[in-house]
Amino acid sequence: MAFTAARPLIPPQDLKSFQEHLARSKRVLALLGAGLSASSGLPTFRGAGGLWRTHDAMQLATPEAFNRDPGLVWQFYSYRRHMALNAKPNPAHYALAELAKKNPEFITISQNVDGLSPRAGHPANQLKLLHGSLFDVKCSEFFCNYLETNNYTDPIVPALALPTDESDPTTNEAIKVRELDISDENVDLPEVSLRDLPRCPQCQRGLLRPGVVWFGEWLPRDVQRDIDRWTAQPENIDLIMVIGTSAKVYPAAGYVDSARNKGARVAVVNTDKNDAPQGGMYTNDWFFEGDAAVIVPELLKSEIGEIKPEDMRDGERTSV
């Protein structure tokens, strides 16, 4: 999918004042949400009314849903793994990675579990994956600490393979398999039985579950500690960029106010003018309305130059 960067309508005076502030900024934060990956073809949580098939996506992202129907929850996550593996980081992912390479005091807090920022080469020590990753799996047994990172096997077990439609007349080859989009409620979901779900190789008892943070679960302590240590340093925070997030989920959304309390100016990038952080917008803040994949590279160009297609080398796609 070619990313033709249409010349965005960023008001020149806003672009100028933002880039002047960025040039002066030493300690910078970014808070990322699903909107950052929207132009990579990945649905946001709010997109499609927050539904996956007929289910509230936020309800599926809970330990209760997994205990009730682990097959359905695994179909939801296997689908998202498949989509993310077949998506590509966009220029905004690369631009943020470039700024991180240039400024070691630029810390990025991501709510995204899609793996696109790591694949864009974002330095891992400056990228805080607050809600985990689709490509980590762990045992669901309370007393088992089994964790496997960077599992890109797709599907993770044969029973989670996407149903296909071999009768698609539009194909010219003899048998061209077309994967069916199971996020569409009109597509039948294959039966998945408990014994076909991924099992923990360590305790041999528990089911494996996606290595993401579900609602009602604590955030990864080490990640939260790292962020809190960095924000608690005596120096001011000069800027926080709030990119493609509705900033409604906590504790993640709370970092906007913590940065503000440390002197930060706020720059929001969002397609929806109404999706400003709950604390509201102050006079010397910026709201850049539009597609993050187009606006973010433009905003950061003064610091990192142009993001050219040849710069967009996609990293971690080991097993596809």
Residues annotated in a binding site for Zn(2+):
139, 144, 200, 203
If one asks whether residue 42 binds ligand BV8 (CB under 6 A), the answer comes out as no
Per CB under 6 A, the segment of 159-167, 186-194, 227-235, 266-274 that binds ligand BV8 is: 266-274
Q: Is 211 in the site for ligand BV8 (CB under 6 A)?
A: no
82 is catalytic: no
* Phi, psi dihedral angles at 165 (to 5 degrees): -120, 105
Tell me the number of residues near ligand BV8 by CB under 6 A.
33
78 binds ligand BV8 (CB under 6 A): no
In the list 14, 17, 19, 46, the residue contacting ligand BV8 (rule: CB under 6 A) is 46
Tell me the C-alpha distance between 193 and 189, whole Å.
12
Query: What is the SS3 assignment for 279?
Result: coil
| From candidates 218, 221, 229, 234, binder to ligand BV8 by CB under 6 A | 218
Nearer to ligand BV8 among residue 159 and residue 292 (C-beta): 292
**What are residue 287's DSSP bridge partners?**
268
From residue 197, alpha-carbon distances to 78, 143, 191 in Å are 11, 20, 11
Give the footprint of ligand BV8 on residues 123-142 (CB under 6 A): 131
154's tokens: 């797709």
Q: Tokens for 85?
A: 């593996």
CA torsion through residues 254, 255, 258, 259, sign: negative
The reply to whether 281 sits near ligand BV8 by the rule CB under 6 A is no
Strands, E, within 140-264: which ranges?
147-148, 164-165, 178-179, 208-212, 239-243
Report the catalytic residues.
Answer: 131
Give residues in contact with ligand BV8 (CB under 6 A): 33-35, 38-39, 44-46, 61, 111, 113, 131, 212-218, 244-246, 248-250, 252, 269-272, 275, 291-292
